[in-house]
Amino acid sequence: MTDNKKIVLEEYSGKFNYIRKKSEIDISFNRVAFIFFVFFAIFITFSIKIIHLGNGEIKLKKISLNNEFRSNILDRNGNILAKSVVTKNIGINPKEIIDINKLLINLKLIFPKKDFNKIKNKIDKGKFFYLEKKVSSKKYKRLILLGDKSIKEEQKISRIYPQRNLFSHILGQIDDDNQGISGIEKFYDYELKSSKKPITLSLDINLQYLIREELIKSKEIFKNIGSAAILMDVDNGEILSMISLPDFDLNKRENITDKKFINRATKAVYELGSVFKTFTFAAALNNELIDINTPFLNLENKISCGDSQIREYDEEIPKDLTAQDILVRSGNIGSVRIGQKLGIEKYKSFLNSIGILQKIDFDIEEVGQPIPFQWGKCKLATSSYGHGITTTALQISTGYAIISNGGYKISPTLIKNELVDKKNFRKILKKGVSEKVNSSLRKVVSSKEGTAGFANIKGYEVGGKTGTAQKSVNGKYSEKKINTFISIFPTSKPKFVLLVLLDEPKVNKEYIYNYRDGSGFKYKGNWRNTAGWTSVEIAGKIIEKIGPILATKYYDFLNE
């Protein structure tokens, strides 16, 4: 029995030992699993936190980027003129380049036009540099596929101008800190940064393009160093087009210091010559000192004023003229006589009333200040025909809008506001004055005695006045000229003012002039460097191009 018990004990003992070993294994496994679970839970917790924080950083970055966004600037038809976008800059960190030859070969395939000798030199210097700013999405994808650690990406908010040069003087620029530094970008800086709504300008992209093209061609014809054009609605002051050449590409963000890039439409201050004769004529009519048929007899070819002499530009001009004839023929002496009837105070008051003599309020800060002067008998005489008196192209255009629209004192604007009407403005001219001025300006263009025949475009009733002025250089008058033509149309019920200014045009004796009145008459071989042979010709070309757009979108010439 004893042996049996031993055997049983041994069997039991063996069984017991087996069970005990299994229990130890279970306990060890559970302990490991528990520890793993704890660490896993911690890992998950921290991972979630990291992801959350990571997302938070992305959101913060996006919020920061959104704060740098400026509102869009649109033309009157909703076309984008300025827009903020997220762009990518690509740089190279030379310290992380593994195979420089392989990298350069791959980059040449993506950027075949770049100078890789310069890029190689930058790499050799060992300092980070930008390879391409505002890289296109296509090139960006190809760069990423290279998988090269030395290629670095930077995300940035950029201001882009899809029309490049077309609105450069108007839109202006921003600096690297997202601050407007010129043009609309500066004047409406707060609104562009704080509002989500776009700013809609009064400008029309199609009109702007067509007018700019003709101004560019004018340089090919007359070799002028610059030019300007303004197209304004006379009823509300909205500017449909404003151009100054030369211009510049806003996307290049260049520091423009050369004076040739001045805004000739608003900033440059000029003597503009005989375009002032219309103001003298209108002021005398408004003061009831003359009528259009008032005779001026025995007019001299020259008169003395102090140490200077005032002469007629055309020695064949008749001695006896009516007030209207003086304007149509652009008589200097006759305009002086009208100015003398007015007197200093009445003429000065009239010019102030239409905003000619003082700096004008406008939607950009780049606005010129007319040069002040002392009034006297000689200054009255010379200013009556536009000599020795300065203003800007914007102000002279606004003055013509006022005297042609019935005498309502509108203010020029670059902001679209179709609800504004001239009847909301103060009327500063007496009844009937505008009609007399407009009919006289029509004769400047339509009659054979007038000086602006090349703008007589059939169907548009164009009227206007020419102005040829010598430029002052170092305090003395030179042979260099400013040639200006200001037109209104249609003269029976004016809707638009168009100014065309050419800075230092030259004579072109080979150019063939084509009359636009339907006669088919042509003329070649001009020796006169006056507005009638330069600015008028370009204005005629412009009106031919933009007339159909104006007629269909803004004004029905046939039904009005």
560's CB contacts (< 8 A; 6+ apart) are: 490, 492, 493, 495
Which pLDDT value is given to residue 58?
28
Rounded to 5 degrees, φ, ψ at 237 are 80, 0
- Confidence at residue 31, expressed as pLDDT on a 0 to 100 scale: 61
The span from the CA of 123 to the CA of 128, in Å, is 8
Phi, psi of 28 (to 5 degrees): -65, -40
Q: Is 88 helix (H, G, I), strand (E, B) or coil?
A: strand
Q: pLDDT at residue 458 above 80?
A: yes
Write out pLDDT tens, residues 390-430: 999 999 999 999 999 999 999 999 999 866 766 778 999 99
Phi, psi dihedrals of residue 423, rounded to the nearest 5°: -70, -15
pLDDT of residue 7 exceeding 60, the answer is no
DSSP H or E run through 289: none
What is the C-alpha to C-alpha distance for residues 461 and 487, in angstroms, rounded to an integer?
A: 10
pLDDT at 234: 95
Report d(CA 181, CA 228) in Å as an integer.
Answer: 22
Contacts of 511 (CB under 8 A, 6+ apart): 221, 524, 526
Q: Is the pLDDT of residue 144 over 60?
A: yes
Compute the distance between CA of residue 225 and CA of residue 504 in angstroms, rounded to an integer.
6
Neighbouring CB atoms inside 10 A of 425's CB total 19
pLDDT in tens, 234-257: 999 999 999 999 999 998 877 777
Q: Which two tokens stand for residue 388?
A: 């020795």
Residue range 255-287, pLDDT digits in tens: 777 888 999 999 999 999 999 999 999 999 999
pLDDT tens string 67-115? 568 999 999 999 999 998 888 889 999 999 999 999 999 999 999 989 9
Report which of 170, 406, 446 is spatially closest to residue 324, judged by C-alpha positions.
Answer: 446
Backbone torsion region of residue 346, taken as left when φ is above 0, otherwise alpha when ψ lies between -120 and 50, otherwise beta: alpha
Calculate mean pLDDT across residues 24-34: 53
* Closest CA relative to residue 454, chosen from 518, 537, 519, 524: 537
Average pLDDT of the chain, as a whole number:
86
In this structure, are residues 185 and 82 in contact, taking their beta carbons and an 8 Å threshold?
Answer: yes
Cα 321-464-437 angle, rounded to 5 deg: 60
Residue keyed to tokens 């509002």: 195
CA distances from 511 to 13, 222, 228 (A): 126, 9, 21
DSSP codes joined into one string, 244-261: EES---GGG------GGG
Burial 261-300 (b: 16+ CB within 10 A, else e): bbbbbbbbbbbbbbbbbbbbbbbbbbbeebebebebeebe
Q: Are 111 and 143 in contact (CB under 8 A)?
A: no
Stretch among 132-136, 147-151, 426-430 having the lowest mean pLDDT: 132-136
Q: Report CA-CA distances (Å) from 529 to 246, 346, 375, 483.
A: 21, 33, 30, 8
Residue 414 contacts residue 360 (beta carbons within 8 Å): no
- Write down the residue that tokens 């239409």 correspond to: 354
Average pLDDT of 35-42?
Answer: 58
Model pTM score: 0.81
What's the rounded Cα separation, in Å, for the pair 285 and 466? 20
Angle between helices 277-286 and 393-404 (to 10 degrees): 40
State how far the Cα of 172 lies from the Cα of 168, in Å rounded to an integer.
6
Look at residue 235 and give its three-state secondary structure: coil
- pLDDT value of residue 41: 58
Instruction: Return the structure tokens found at 465.
Output: 């006045």
Mean pLDDT over 293-301 rounds to: 93
Count of other CB atoms within 10 angstroms of residue 210: 17
What gap in Å lies between CA 169 and CA 244, rounded to an integer?
7
pLDDT at 145 over 80: yes
